[in-house]
Structure 1
Amino acid sequence: MDLAKYVFEKGSKHVKIFTVETKTCKKTEKSYTTPAKPLLVASPVEEGEYPVVVFLHGYLLYNSFYSQLLHHVASHGFVVIAPQQLYVVSGPDTTEEIKSAASLLDWLVHNLASSLPPNVQPNLAKLSIAGHSRGGKVAFALALSKVVSSPLKISALIGIDPVDGMDMGNQTPPPILTYTPNSLKLDMPVLVVGSGLGELKRNALFPPAAPKGVSHEQFFKECCAPACYFVAKDYGHLDMLDDETKGFRGNLTYCIAKNGKERKSMRVFVGGIMVAFLKAYLENEREFLMAIKDEPGVAPIELSTFSFLD
């Protein structure tokens, strides 16, 4: 097996992708019987116990736009949970999104196992939280206990082109970045993935999707060890989405941010590096991440930056 390439290929697990819908119901003494937000779930179908990844989508996007990415990660032996619409369209404040994410983690404790395929068990002792764009900010906020503390211990954190605001000094509340190196005291390993084109405008009508000063570079500067950082040189802020995204919001993803030539390579890279990172820190299988560290050219895209804080 070529260890450095393995994580960028489809894993050995067969995957079922399904939704868990929400409905109006009274809160019991323990939890909601259905989630407060609808979920998109990607799960292996083979019998076993699997680590859980909560994936928070970007602003104004649908969780279904990430189905190919979620499938890739799940095929390597992870249960991936992607809630829909953690935000409100109006206003920059992410407080309610953070509370919503915490509420989902509480729901997982009592209800996730019964929602999965037969003989599939979630291992919530190996829980990671990942987020793209504004969802990346929310993931960091929850890991840092901003607004509310997580009801579950978070074992790993992933920010995929995380964004904390529109530009330097204009962060969305509650702010995450402090502009002090190594100031984010996170008791967990962190992966930050950035896009080389995210800080560039696509045209005069739209600002950069991931402005310099409030995006991936600054997030990594403020992380403490252990942390990993990869930047895809010629790909944009939305290039990890599905090959085809339909509808009004789906069509917007092709015109509001500067994009690379195609999405597949970036998506495969993001999925693969997530798998390598999670296997290293949740499963103690560090050989895949170390192989990429030793041979970064094996990635399906060109990296402008790769860095490790050990």
Structure 2
Amino acid sequence: MYILPPKGIREVESAAQVANWLQLGLQSVLPENIEPNLKTVVLSGHSRGGKTAFALALGYGDPIQKFSALIGIDPVAGNNFGTTTPHILTYEPNLSTSHFRLPSSKYNHEEFFNESKPPRAHFTAKNYGHMDMLNDDLSGVIGKLADSMCVNGKGPRDPLRRCIGGIVIAFLNYYFQDNEVDFNTIVNEPDVAPVVLDQVQFDAS
């Protein structure tokens, strides 16, 4: 157990341990009549967790578990002082599947998207910021840090949460269930989203 969240490669290694546990440990905590399908495991993360998800997909931390898709919600790989470890951005395309969103430079969601190979998608919510997917009223130290260190929108956060959830589910249905209707609708008619999407890009191949 960590008192404070681990940083750098330790954070990635911890995530890899959790992913590797799935093959041996997940079945033991499920009902007897339920079998997990580990052929379609999806990685997802927000902010630094988004970078960790990308790092796992690239093999950092030595994950045994294979991953079928990757969803990054405003992933970040650095700040004003430079990139954070491990240094996973190469400024060349190298990831095969991905899906991103939200505005926050060369360490943010745009570069993660640029380094991903099709099929890939990118959505940006115009009037929202990095922490606006969280609860409406964050209290304590976390709330103060979120308000002071990150650019946030001024409107209600619930529409953004619904938008993110809707895009994620539509993407998963598109990729795994051969149900392309909702995802294609969002891509081709972004006005259906509960927030303004000012960047929408989907490269199927």
TM-score by length of 2: 0.89
Inter-CA distance 254–117: structure 2 relative to 1 (3 Å threshold)? farther
Amino acid at match of 2:102: G
Is it true that 1:173 corresponds to 2:95 in the alignment? no
Per-residue CA deviations over 1:187-227 (Å, capped at 9, x if unaligned) read: 4x2101122xx2xxxxxxxxxxxxx2110111111211110
Per-residue CA deviations over 1:18-61 (Å, capped at 9, x if unaligned) read: xxxxxxxxxxxxxxxxxx78xxxxxxxxxxxxxxxxxxxxxxxx
Is it true that 1:294 corresponds to 2:188 in the alignment? yes
Name 1:105's counterpart in structure 2: 19
Name 1:78's counterpart in structure 2: none
Name 2:170's counterpart in structure 1: 276
- Ranked by relative contact order (alpha carbons within 8 Å, sequence separation 6 or more), the top structure is 1
Name 1:240's counterpart in structure 2: 133
Gaps of at least 5 residues in structure 2 are none
- Paired residues of 2:102 and 2:128 also in contact (CA < 8 A): no
Counterpart-to-counterpart distance in 2, 1:149 and 1:286:
33
Name 1:159's counterpart in structure 2: 72
Structure with more of its chain in helix, by fraction: 2
Inter-CA distance 288–102: structure 2 relative to 1 (3 Å threshold)? same
Counterpart-to-counterpart distance in 2, 1:114 and 1:253:
38
Per-residue CA deviations over 1:272-309 (Å, capped at 9, x if unaligned) read: 11111111112222222112112111011101100011
In the TM superposition, 1:8-23 aligns within 5 A as none
Name 1:231's counterpart in structure 2: 124
Name 2:158's counterpart in structure 1: 264
Inter-CA distance 179–126: structure 2 relative to 1 (3 Å threshold)? same
Counterpart-to-counterpart distance in 1, 2:36 and 2:180:
22
Name 1:58's counterpart in structure 2: none
Counterpart-to-counterpart distance in 1, 2:16 and 2:99:
20
Q: CA RMSD in A?
A: 2.2
What is the Cα deviation at residue 117 of structure 1? 6.3
Counterpart-to-counterpart distance in 1, 2:133 and 2:30:
26
What is the Cα deviation at residue 94 of structure 1? 1.5
When structure 1 is superposed on structure 2, of 249-258 and 94-103 the one drifting more is 249-258
Amino acid at match of 1:238: M
SS, match of residue 125 in structure 1: coil
In the TM superposition, 1:104-123 aligns within 5 A as 104-116=18-30, 120-123=34-37
Counterpart-to-counterpart distance in 1, 2:144 and 2:158:
17
What is the Cα deviation at residue 113 of structure 1? 3.3
Structure with more of its chain in strand, by fraction: 1
What is the Cα deviation at residue 119 of structure 1? 5.1
The count of aligned residue pairs is 203
Inter-CA distance 138–295: structure 2 relative to 1 (3 Å threshold)? same
Of all paired residues, the percent bearing the same amino acid is: 41
- Paired residues of 1:229 and 1:308 also in contact (CA < 8 A): yes
Inter-CA distance 94–273: structure 2 relative to 1 (3 Å threshold)? same
Counterpart-to-counterpart distance in 2, 1:283 and 1:99:
31
Amino acid at match of 2:83: Q
